Structure 1
Amino acid sequence: MSEVKQHIFQNITDEDWVAVAVHGGGGISFHRSHPAVKMFESISNFKVVYSVELPNHGRRGKSSKWFDVDEALRNVKEELQNKIAGKRVVFISYSVGGVLISKLWWTFKKTIDPKSICILTGCGLRLELHRKAVEDFWTVEYTLKNNKSMMEKAHGGDWELTIKSVNPWLARGASSWMTSGELQQLNAPESKMYFVIGTDPEEPFDISDITFALDKFSCSDKVYTIPSDHWSYFNKKWDFVQSAYLAILKKSCNLEPGPKLTQSKL
């Protein structure tokens, strides 16, 4: 089962915003001192961050069976929908978490405040048209022996399980892929979906993501590219990510941090 942790700064009112943060595959939920949570705390309009922990993640014990796509979608929807109904919401979702939220975004939009926005980080729209290319890419980039050390560093001893967990999301017929109808909805200006995508040539994962976003997502003014690889968004490249987040929040929501926000010393 998934779990939603609350990082509460102050009591929330009807005029306040809430943030929802969703981690990537193999990761853990954003903790209280996570840089993204600290960023939201610096903006007085945000009183709470709902930090989603995906099914079978975290440090509560290992599971031999990883969640499937439909289970994860259903699980996260049930955990979040009552907490955010009627609220002004900013979603920050990373990697596989971004794939999940992009599938749920239009469902959530029906019950949350229309000013709400969604920011996908390190994640493009998973399109049917690119399915074969992505399958080939994933097989090449993430099963080569020379990437073993990178996977171990990013995911520890669970890196092989992480690979196995993501494969179902890329399989033929998986629910994580965008249908043409969903793409049309997400491509509309009122969808309020934004992308923060790294383009570091040394790690080509996000080169693929930016192709998805720019080739098939016509609202390219909603795509923010930064010099990062897929593993560095919330550590050594956080300053770039934070700058993109703040630009989006100012542009779309007219929200700005207070004077106490400082750039990370990286």
Structure 2
Amino acid sequence: MSRRFVPVGRRILEQNIKARYHAGDIGTQDALHLFDELLQVAGPSSIHAINCLLTVVGRDCPALGVSLFNRVARSKVAPCSITYAILVDCCCRAGRQDLGFAAMGHIIKMGFTADAMITFSHLLKAICAENKTSYAMDIVLRIMPMFNCVPDVFSYNILFKGLCNEKRSQEALELIHMMVEDGGCCRPDVVTYSTVIDGLLKEGEVDKAYSLFCEMLCQGISPNDVTYNSIISGMCKLQAMDKAEEVLQLMLERRILPNVATYTSLIHGYYLCF
């Protein structure tokens, strides 16, 4: 089969757009001009460069990003799964989740289910930002599996953050235990544990937070310095200095050096105890 011919001028334009995008050298106005120029000569291969321009415009003006997508849809260039993911993100950030869900339905209808994970993530973030985490949980636990889109740990971490922001850390704790007991391929990671531990501490649940910290270690997940500092800070604010000292000792045993933030939290904690 012969190779499809791509005009030299269009190929150079596409390469220039992608190079400038990856170099972070395209502003919104530039992207709009380049979009108009490219769409006049665009072919099937142009979708990758178009995605770059849609991303730039959608980042600053999500509603305008939706408008540009509509122009792409009316052209001879077929959107790909990444194009639809950009569209859903723009819809959500423009406050039009209804359009985001409509686009999500179109993605599934077009057979992009295997690539739908990142698109679902945009919806989950938008839903949790409106304190509707229960709805987001329904999407992750029921709707996504219905479409053979198995949630990954990133999707779950969006839920954990939403639950903790709504002061529902106990539910987040139960969800972690469910993931561990399930024994599937989607296991809690350091972000999962750190998010829920921080949420428990903010709700004053020192013992549960420390217990979950120990569970994390037992699961073979190594906290980083950010995790240690977050836990120590939370415990010091609650004047749980014995637990803070135990976490500090574990930190030292694992050869993670305390920094200014660590010692500042400890000094503040000791000051509160006097």
Q: Which has the higher contact order (CA 8 A, sep 6+)?
A: 1
Question: TM-score, length-normalised on structure 2?
Answer: 0.27
Q: Which has the higher strand share?
A: 1
Q: Which has the larger radius of gyration?
A: 2
